[in-house]
Amino acid sequence: MNITVTQQDKVTIVAIDEKRLDANNSGELKSQMIDLLQSGQRNLLIDLEHVTFIDSSGIGALVSGFKNATAGGGKLFLCNLQQQVQSIFELTRLNRVFDIFADRESALQKLG
Amino acid sequence: MSEQTPVIMHMQIPSDTKYLAAIGSLVEALVGIREPSLGFSLQLALTEAVANAIKHGTRSPATDDVGIDLFLDAQAVRMRVHDHGPGFDLESVEVPDEDELSDHGRGLQIIRALVDSLSYGPTPAGNTLEMIKFFPPPAAAEPDDS
């Protein structure tokens, strides 16, 4: 699982540098988000620009990150969802749970 | 592809999630030739089914396998995933409670939303999850004014 982590003000941006987020790599993402939260990062913005395929396992990893961030007093947000990825969030109704932004700029404007 | 000639494929893969991308991409490409609008959704349905078989349907992940059959003709795509696990009752699997916000258990919910027919039960090949998606009827031809 390749990710790029950058910090902007109080928000830790996690860019997923993979085309797929599925049962083969979702466990790694889950662990990496836990590591970030345990190292003191509270607010995670997950940038899914490069992800063109996500399954229930990938969604589960993001739900896990969301719950862990919230439990620690922080938040987890999503941005840059491809249309087909967005459709899976709508199918599972998780678009009503996550704050989903069109791009990083609009997310940081709201969160910063 | 002539729409009169079916595409028939059988695969047997090790019980390992690293095969998911290759299988999913192949099925998306094959379905996409016949019906581009369904390639992604049927890749997703098959990925969920195979991942479930790997996670719950293998006796020994290190040595077991998962079987996959694809039958694609002009009317529909039929996908069967065979596992060797103890099996489960498809009807008793409930949709995850949204309020509980579970981080697992959405695989069958997604499959149900993407296919027209879903069944699971014992067959000579093991326990078999069968998914059928019917293609939309071809659009009526435009009248020829020439």
Spell out which residues of chain A touch residue B101, defining contact as CB-CB under 8 Å.
63, 66-67, 97
Alpha carbon distance A13, A33 (integer Å): 11
A60 contact partners, CB below 8 Å, separation of at least 6 = A26, A30, B102, B103, B104, B106
Which residue in chain B has the smallest CA separation from A85?
Answer: B40
Which residue in chain A has the smallest CA separation from B112?
Answer: A91
Q: What pLDDT, in 10s, does the model give residues B35-72?
A: 999 999 999 999 999 999 999 887 776 678 999 999 99
Alpha carbon distance A107, A87 (integer Å): 20
Alpha carbon distance A93, A111 (integer Å): 23
Judge whether B141 lies within some domain: no
- By residue range, what is the domain housing residue A20? 3-111
CATH code: domain of residue B43: 3.30.565.10
Number of structural domains (chain B) is: 1
Judge whether B35 lies within some domain: yes
Nearest to A67 among B47, B103, B109 (CB): B103
**Residue A98: band (very low, low, confident or very high) from pLDDT cuts 50, 70, 90:** very high
Number of structural domains (chain A) is: 1
Q: What pLDDT, in 10s, does the model give residues A25-84?
A: 999 999 999 999 999 999 999 999 999 999 999 999 999 999 999 999 999 999 999 999
- By residue range, what is the domain housing residue B55? 7-94+102-134
Q: What pLDDT, in 10s, does the model give residues B74-101?
A: 999 999 999 988 888 888 887 777 777 8
Spell out which residues of chain B touch residue A88, defining contact as CB-CB under 8 Å.
44, 110
Judge whether B145 lies within some domain: no
Question: Number of residue pairs across A and B with CB atoms under 8 Å?
Answer: 64
